[in-house]
């Protein structure tokens, strides 16, 4: 672990739903394996069950209900103002189901991560598990990427792969992928906390001082002990 990782990286997590990846991040941080401080969890949905997970962990929660704003720009402006009150070093999208404007994404360039349930660039957008099965894929998975203005198109840092079994349906495949997501995301965040990764001037990921030409594979990495 680098010296930079001995202090806690302040992060803000954005959610829209149940918060299962949020829970894995909280658990890893509580164990000390993930050297971050979750300063706030913000949801665009008042009924997101992940808010209760955050409250139970003693984390500040905020609701920026997108239905109360006339357009994406005004919502993004309010969301950005609320995030910036917590001065995060990293913004973590964990099941945040809103398209973000280019201005918003540019504001957090190089310090916003997302997790997506497919092996990007395959299957951006929704219904990834059903689409993978319908396409006859034998392998599926999840990806952690830096966020850019184009949906699910930012440079990919780390992926986890799972086999698509003959008897899989979208629900069972989603469950297999989600198990890997809970291992994938904390590790990627920890790399950021340790300053092992960043985006260079050309928008490429630099990992341990070298340009990353292909996403890292979780099967070849050491997951966090949490």
In the chain, % of residues over pLDDT 70: 97
State yes or no: is 116 an active-site residue: yes
pLDDT band at 4 (very low <50, low <70, confident <90, very high): very low
Q: Minimal CA–CA distance to 10: which of 83, 74, 87, 73? A: 87
Which residue is catalytic, options 66, 107, 116, 182? Answer: 116
Q: How far is 76 from 64, CA to CA, in rounded Å?
A: 9
For 3-220, which CATH superfamily applies? Formyl transferase, N-terminal domain (3.40.50.170)
Tokens coding 95:
């099941």
Torsion of CA 206, 106, 22, 43, to 10 degrees: 180
Mean confidence (pLDDT) of the chain: 96
Mean pLDDT to the nearest integer, 13-22: 97
**Measured on CA atoms in the order 195, 26, 176, 113, is the torsion positive or negative?**
negative
Three-state SS across 15-44? ECCCCHHHHHHHHHHHHCCCCEEEEEEEEC
Give the per-residue pLDDT at 44. Answer: 98
Residue spans of the domains in the chain: they are 3-220
> CA-CA distances (angstroms) from residue 115 to 55, 56, 77, 145, 159?
22, 23, 23, 7, 9
Q: Could you read off the pLDDT of 87-144 as tens digits, one per residue?
A: 999 999 999 999 999 999 999 999 999 999 999 999 999 999 999 999 999 999 999 9
């Amino acid at each position: 672990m680098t010296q930079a990782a001995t202090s806690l990286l302040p992060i803000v997590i954005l959610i829209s739903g149940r918060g299962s990846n949020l829970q894995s991040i909280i658990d890893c941080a509580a164990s000390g394996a993930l050297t971050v401080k979750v300063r706030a969890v913000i949801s665009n949905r008042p009924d997101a069950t992940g808010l209760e997970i955050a409250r139970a962990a003693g984390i500040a929660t905020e609701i920026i209900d997108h239905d109360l704003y006339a357009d994406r720009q005004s919502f993004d402006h309010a969301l950005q103002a609320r995030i910036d009150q917590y001065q995060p070093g990293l913004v973590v999208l964990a099941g945040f189901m809103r398209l973000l404007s280019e201005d918003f994404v540019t504001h957090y360039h190089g310090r916003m991560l997302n997790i997506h349930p497919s092996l990007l660039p395959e299957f951006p957008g929704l219904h990834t598990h059903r689409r993978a099965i319908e396409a006859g894929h034998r392998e599926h998975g999840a990806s952690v990427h830096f966020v850019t203005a184009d949906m699910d198109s930012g440079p990919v840092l780390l992926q986890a792969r799972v086999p698509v079994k003959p008897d899989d349906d979208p629900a069972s495949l989603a469950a297999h992928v989600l198990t890997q997501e809970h291992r994938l995301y904390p590790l990627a965040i920890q790399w950021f906390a340790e300053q092992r990764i960043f985006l260079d001037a050309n928008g490429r990921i630099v990992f341990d001082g070298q340009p990353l030409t292909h996403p890292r594979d979780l099967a070849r990495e050491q997951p966090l002990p949490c």
